[in-house]
Amino acid sequence: MIQQVIFAIAVVGALGFAFNKYAKILRNIRLGGEYSTDGGDFERMKNVALIAFGQKKMFKRMVPAVMHLFIYAAFMITQIELLEIFIDGFLGTHRFFWDSLGWFYTFTISFIEILSVLAFIATVVFLARRNALKLPRFHMDEMTGWPKWDGNIILVLEFMLIIFIFHMNGADEVLYNIGKAHAEGMEYGEVGSYGFAISRFAGPLMFGWLADYGDFGVWILNLLERFGWWGHILTVLCFLMYLPFSKHLHIMLAFPNTYFAPLNSRGEMENMPDVMNEVKMMMGLTEMSADAPTEDELPEFGAKDVFGLSWKNILDAYTCTECGRCSSVCPANMTGKKLSPRKIMMDIRDRADEVGRNLDSGDYNRNNYDDGKSLFDYISREEIHACTTCNACVEACPVMISPMEPILKLRRYEILTESAGPGDWVPMFTSIENGGSPWQVTDARDKWATDALDENQ
C-alpha cells in the first residue's frame, strides 16, 4: 500500500508540473497572430501519417533514418508496457495483462525487448555521431552550451530506460524460473519462464547466480526487479517533465505541425493583402473602400516581434528538432554567410519563452507588451539579408517547418515599415517604385509596348 501511495504522489506531481509547463508553451504559441489553413482534412491527415508517423522525409538520409526509426518504434511500442506499469502502480498488481493476454503478452513484451536492443544500438550510434565523429551540423555556432547538452541528455535517458527495462524483466525472469514469482494470480512454486525474447537468456545470465543464495537471493532479486520497475517509471516521469525544456518536444508537436503545414506550392510566398489592395486601387482595378487605412493609419507590414508572426510560425519554432538539416543544405550557410535557418527557429522559440516569462511576472500585459526588445535583438539584419528564398531549408525539414516564412516577415518589416534595408538594395526598390522595374533605366517599363503600337499604326 505504501508503494501505491508513493507511486500516486510521484505520478500526480510529475503530471501537474508537466501540464503547467505545456500550458505555458501553448500560451506562447498563441502569442502569434492568425493563420489560415488551406486544403482538405484528407491531405492533412496524409501528411501526419506519412511524415509525422511514417518518418518519410527522414529517409533522404538512410543511416540516421534507420537508427531514428529504431528509437521511434521502441518509444511508441513501449507505451504498451508503460500502460501496464501505470496500472500495476495504482492497483498494486504485477504484470496486470499476463493472465488475460497469455501468449500475446509474451509476444508483445518480446517485441518490445527486440526493439529496445535496436534502440540501444541506435543510441550508441547517435552518441558517436554527436561526440566522436563530430558531424558538422551538430557543431555549428548555435549548437553550443545548452543545445549541445540537450541532445546528449536525451540519449542518456534513452540508455537508462532500456537498462531499467531489462533489469526489471531479467530479475523477474529468474524469480519465475525458481518458482518465486510474486505476482498475484501466479501459482507460487510454479517453475517456468515468461519466455521473453531477450530476458529469458539475459536474466539468468545476469542474475541467475543469486538463486543459489536461498531466501537472501530471492530478496535481492525482488529488490533488483523493483529497482528496474521504479527506475523505468521515474525516468519516464523525468522525461515527461524535461520535454518542455528540450528540442525533443517535437515528439509531441510534430503531429499538429505536419497537420497544419501549408499544402500550397513550396515556392509560393504569403500575400500581403494591404499591399495587394493598394496596388489594385492604383491600377484602377478596385475602388477605395470606406475602411481603407489613411496615411495616419498605415498598417505595420511584416513582423518585428513574435506578435507579428503567425501562431504556426511559433509552433514551428517549438517543433524544431535542431537536427540541422535545414542549415546543412542552406546555400547561404554553405558559402560562409551568417544565416543558419535552424538558429532562426531557435531564436524565435527563445524570444517566445522570454515574452512568456515576462507575462508570467505580471509586469507586462499581452495587449500592450513592450519590454524594449524584439526579434531583431536575437536575429541580426545580416542573417535575414543572406536568405535567397530558395526553400532548400523547407524541403529538408523532416517535420515540415518553414524557416523562410519568419525570415520574409522580418525583411518585410525592415523594408516596408522601417524603410530600411541593405544599401545595395535601395536603388532597386527606388527603381521599382518610380519605374516599375528593378533596373535603373530612364525609360518607362512599358515604353517598348507603346513604341510597338506607334510603329504598327
Q: How far is CA 5 from CA 8, 12, 89, 92, in A?
A: 5, 11, 9, 10
Q: How far is CA 275 from CA 7, 134, 287, 297, 389, in A?
A: 59, 47, 14, 14, 20
For 278, half-sphere exposure in the C-beta direction (CA atoms, 13 angstrom radius) is 10
Q: Assess contact for 317 and 346: CB atoms under 8 A.
A: yes
Residue 148 lies in a domain: yes
**What is the gyration radius of the CA atoms in the chain, in angstroms?**
29
What range defines the domain where residue 168 resides? 61-247
**Residue 33, helix vs strand vs coil:** strand
Residue 384 lies in a domain: no
Mean per-residue pLDDT, 82-88: 90
Residue 118 lies in a domain: yes
Work out the mean pLDDT of the chain and round it to a whole number.
86
Closest CA to 140 of 317, 335, 320, 338: 338
Q: Give the cell for residue 209.
A: 547466480
User: How many structural domains does the chain have?
Assistant: 1
Q: How far is CA 168 from CA 77, 173, 224, in A?
A: 17, 9, 7
- Residue 271 has a pLDDT of 75
310 beta partners: 33
Amino acid (1-letter code) at residue 127: L
Position 94 pLDDT exceeds 80: yes
Q: How far is CA 252 from CA 76, 256, 350, in A?
A: 12, 8, 19
Residue 301 lies in a domain: no
> What is the pTM (predicted TM-score) of this model?
0.86
Q: How far is CA 133 from CA 60, 162, 307, 324, 327, in A?
A: 20, 24, 40, 16, 18
pLDDT digits (tens, 9 = 90+) for 224-267: 989 999 999 999 999 999 999 998 899 899 999 999 998 887 76
Q: Assess contact for 258 and 48: CB atoms under 8 A.
A: yes
Residue 379 lies in a domain: no
Residue 424 lies in a domain: no
- Residue 335 has a pLDDT of 93
Residue 205 lies in a domain: yes
Q: Please write down the HEC assignment for all residues of 223-290.
A: HHHHHHHHHHHHHHHHHHHHHHHCHHHHHHHHHHHHHCCCCCCCCCCCCCHHHHHHHHHHCCCCCCCC
Q: Give the cell for residue 434.
A: 518610380
Name the range with the highest mean pLDDT among 115-119, 171-175, 414-418.
115-119
Mean per-residue pLDDT, 18-29: 95
Residue 95 lies in a domain: yes
Burial of 241 by CB count in 10 Å (0-12 exposed, 13-18 middle, 19+ buried)?
A: middle
